[in-house]
Amino acid sequence: MSDLSTDFRLPSGCPACGSHRMQVSEVKNPDDKVFCASCRRYICLWHEAESALEHGPSSETEALIEKAANRKDD
């Protein structure tokens, strides 16, 4: 992935390595590909990742981890 990407955390981990840290283009077009930040495997399209993020985490612990990992550093 190029230097113009951003990291975020998905509720479901990468099927190859289990990491929850993903990368997508900073533009975040609906058809942009999402890759695992650890092993670089293609995971899904951005619009599918957005849906997973909107659906939310499966537990309270997962919610706290996602809140910390996906916070905006403004």
* Residue-wise pLDDT tens digits, 1-59: 446 899 998 988 999 999 999 999 999 999 999 999 999 999 999 999 999 888 766 66
Residue 20 lies in a domain: yes
Residue 74 lies in a domain: no
Give residue 74's pLDDT band: very low, low, confident or very high (50, 70, 90). very low
Count of domains for the chain: 1
Range of the domain at 49: 5-69
Residue 38 lies in a domain: yes
Residue 25 lies in a domain: yes
Residue 59 lies in a domain: yes
Q: pTM of the predicted model, to two decimals? A: 0.74
Residue 54 lies in a domain: yes
Residue 36 lies in a domain: yes
Q: Determine which helix (DSSP H) or strand (DSSP E) holds 35, and give its type and residue range.
A: strand 33-36
Residue 10 lies in a domain: yes
Please calculate the CA angle 16-22-18 and round it to the nearest 5 degrees.
30
